């Protein structure tokens, strides 16, 4: 988060940055936090989507999408630093790609 805030703070509204921070703290870290970053797989990402959709009240599709966007940004940062060698597949199975 420190790197993200430092690099993006001038370009984004503080509420946008705060939303990312909340997504990490409330949803992503509790689910993925016990895993090492190298251990996160496409299957884990799919399991996260399933778990979130089972949560009551069910979050909007756009909410889960934003959480996946944040996760992708985290994984891209790990790739840039050399902590991982490739990005997992973030696409939703069984869905056609939308414009």
pLDDT, residue 17, reads 78
Residue 64 counted as domain residue:
yes
State yes or no: cis peptide before 10, omega within 30 of 0: no
Residue 12 counted as domain residue:
yes
Residue 91 counted as domain residue:
no
Domain that holds residue 62: 2-81
Residue 47 counted as domain residue:
yes
Binning pLDDT at 50, 70 and 90, where does residue 9 land?
Answer: low
Q: Name which of 60, 53, 64 is nearest 23 in CA terms.
A: 64
pTM for the structure as a whole: 0.84
Secondary structure, 3-state, 81-95: HCCCCCCCCCCCCCC
Residue 87 counted as domain residue:
no
pLDDT in tens, 36-91: 999 999 999 999 999 999 988 999 999 999 999 999 999 998 999 999 999 999 99
What's the total number of domains in the chain?
Answer: 1
């Amino acid at each position: 988060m420190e790197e993200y805030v430092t690099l993006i703070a001038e370009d984004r509204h503080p509420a946008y940055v705060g939303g990312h921070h909340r997504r990490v703290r409330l949803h992503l870290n509790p689910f993925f936090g016990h895993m090492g970053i190298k251990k996160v797989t496409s299957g884990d990402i799919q399991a996260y989507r399933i778990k979130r959709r089972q949560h009551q009240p069910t979050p909007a599709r756009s909410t889960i999408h934003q959480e996946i966007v944040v996760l992708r940004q985290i994984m891209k940062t790990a790739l840039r630093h050399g902590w991982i060698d490739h990005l997992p597949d973030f696409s939703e199975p069984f869905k056609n790609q939308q414009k």
